[in-house]
Amino acid sequence: MAMAQDELKRAVARAAVAHVPADCIVGVGTGSTANFFIDELGKIKHRIRGAVASSEASAKRLQGHGIEVVSLNDAGSLPVYVDGADEITRHLHMIKGGGGALTREKIVAAASRKFVCVCDASKLVDVLGKFPLPIEVIPMARSYVAREIVALGGQPRLRAGFTTDNGNLILDVLGLSILNPVELETALNNIAGVVTNGLFARRPADVLLLGTENGVQTLTA
Ligand code: 5RP
């Protein structure tokens, strides 16, 4: 099963390379599917100028391939951002942050003109929320934010022993059936102490490359 799933991830990572324009700085996500994409980028590294990474882990892997990692402030607006997701709908709304990199992912996605999401078929869902929704919080606000989330109907759990690249904590929220992701994303953003939530709905993906048994399917919103 895991092997077969890895083959699907590799297939979508390969397909994503076609969305990378020549001579560009490409935005790169985080996670096992993004890692396959980084490995594919390594093969075409002479065709790109560099990459902006959404995590320290991805920056390291890019550098391991000899790809120059550029800061977002130096890169400016990016033509394309390629990343995975924990769940995605046919509207290309996503839950992200399983790897805890959601804040930098949301920033790099926001600064990119096109978001290409790369997923194996297991990530496609009708309604978001089975996967616990990650929320990055400022440490001193953890308990307050958790109470506010309970008031919204969720069950927050502190991700034990985990600190984000930004020095913050993650609450993983169970029990939400997310029928209106745009509205919930905004409501969660308005809780004091929340840095970022893992709903990517206000800025959804533009293209989904979905790895299936029958090949890579391309979906657009
Ligand atoms: C990391 C993320 C990843 O995109 C998400 O967790 C999917 O990872 P994988 O490709 O390993 O399933 O949001 O913060």
Q: What pTM was computed for the model? A: 0.96
Beta strands in 84-206 (DSSP E): 87-88, 94-95, 115-120, 133-137, 155-158, 169-174, 194-197, 199-200
Q: Give the position, in ligand 1's atom list, of the atom nearest the Cα of 33.
A: 10
CA of residue 48 to ligand 1 center, whole Å = 24
Using an 8 Å Cβ cutoff, are 5 and 199 in contact? no
Q: Which of 48, 195, 211 is nearest to 136 (CA)?
A: 195
| pLDDT score, position 144 | 98
User: What's the confidence (pLDDT) of residue 176?
Assistant: 87
Residues of the chain with pLDDT under 50: none
Cα(200) to centroid(ligand 1), Å: 13
User: What is the Cα–Cα distance from 215 to 159, expressed in whole angstroms?
Assistant: 35
Which residues approach ligand 1 with their CB closer than 6 A?
Answer: 29-33, 83-86, 96-102, 105
If you search the block for the tokens 């839950």, which residue do you land on? 95
